[in-house]
Amino acid sequence: MSPGGGGTLVYFRCDDCAEQAHKVVASGGQLARDKFAIGPYGFIALAVDTEGNMIGLHSMR
Protein backbone atom coordinates (compact mmCIF):
# COMPACT_ATOMS: atom_id res chain seq x y z
CA MET A 1 0.00 0.00 0.00
CA SER A 2 1.33 3.45 -0.80
CA PRO A 3 1.71 6.03 2.01
CA GLY A 4 -1.51 7.89 2.67
CA GLY A 5 -3.38 5.42 0.48
CA GLY A 6 -6.11 4.55 2.96
CA GLY A 7 -6.35 1.78 5.48
CA THR A 8 -6.26 2.27 9.23
CA LEU A 9 -5.84 5.72 10.74
CA VAL A 10 -4.03 5.59 14.08
CA TYR A 11 -4.90 8.25 16.66
CA PHE A 12 -2.51 9.31 19.41
CA ARG A 13 -3.88 10.74 22.66
CA CYS A 14 -2.31 13.98 23.83
CA ASP A 15 -3.06 16.82 26.26
CA ASP A 16 -3.77 19.34 23.47
CA CYS A 17 -3.79 18.11 19.89
CA ALA A 18 -3.13 21.63 18.55
CA GLU A 19 0.26 21.72 20.29
CA GLN A 20 1.27 18.34 18.89
CA ALA A 21 0.00 19.23 15.42
CA HIS A 22 2.25 22.28 15.35
CA LYS A 23 5.20 20.09 16.37
CA VAL A 24 4.52 17.93 13.31
CA VAL A 25 4.76 21.01 11.08
CA ALA A 26 7.93 22.18 12.84
CA SER A 27 9.46 18.75 12.11
CA GLY A 28 8.75 18.91 8.37
CA GLY A 29 5.29 17.30 8.27
CA GLN A 30 2.00 18.89 7.23
CA LEU A 31 -1.43 19.46 8.71
CA ALA A 32 -4.22 17.82 6.77
CA ARG A 33 -6.77 19.37 9.13
CA ASP A 34 -6.15 21.64 12.10
CA LYS A 35 -7.77 20.98 15.49
CA PHE A 36 -11.55 20.68 15.37
CA ALA A 37 -14.27 19.57 17.80
CA ILE A 38 -15.89 16.15 17.65
CA GLY A 39 -18.69 16.93 20.09
CA PRO A 40 -18.55 15.37 23.56
CA TYR A 41 -15.58 13.23 22.46
CA GLY A 42 -13.09 16.11 22.47
CA PHE A 43 -10.97 17.35 19.59
CA ILE A 44 -8.85 15.89 16.81
CA ALA A 45 -6.28 17.10 14.32
CA LEU A 46 -5.01 15.22 11.28
CA ALA A 47 -1.35 15.38 10.34
CA VAL A 48 0.84 13.92 7.59
CA ASP A 49 4.39 12.88 8.42
CA THR A 50 7.41 13.42 6.20
CA GLU A 51 6.82 10.05 4.48
CA GLY A 52 3.20 10.81 3.58
CA ASN A 53 1.52 8.80 6.34
CA MET A 54 -1.52 10.38 7.97
CA ILE A 55 -2.01 10.18 11.74
CA GLY A 56 -4.71 11.46 14.03
CA LEU A 57 -4.17 13.39 17.24
CA HIS A 58 -6.87 13.32 19.91
CA SER A 59 -7.36 15.41 23.04
CA MET A 60 -10.20 16.29 25.37
CA ARG A 61 -9.29 19.99 25.48
Percent of the chain at pLDDT > 70 equals: 90
Asked whether residue 4 carries a pLDDT value surpassing 70, the answer given is: no
21: amino acid identity, one letter? A
pLDDT of 7 reads 82
Q: Left if phi > 0, otherwise alpha if psi is -120 to 50, otherwise beta: which for 33?
A: beta
Quick: pLDDT tens for 36-59: 999 999 999 999 999 999 999 999
Q: What is the mean pLDDT of residues 15-19?
A: 97
The pTM (predicted TM-score) of the whole model is: 0.87
Per DSSP, 40 falls in state G
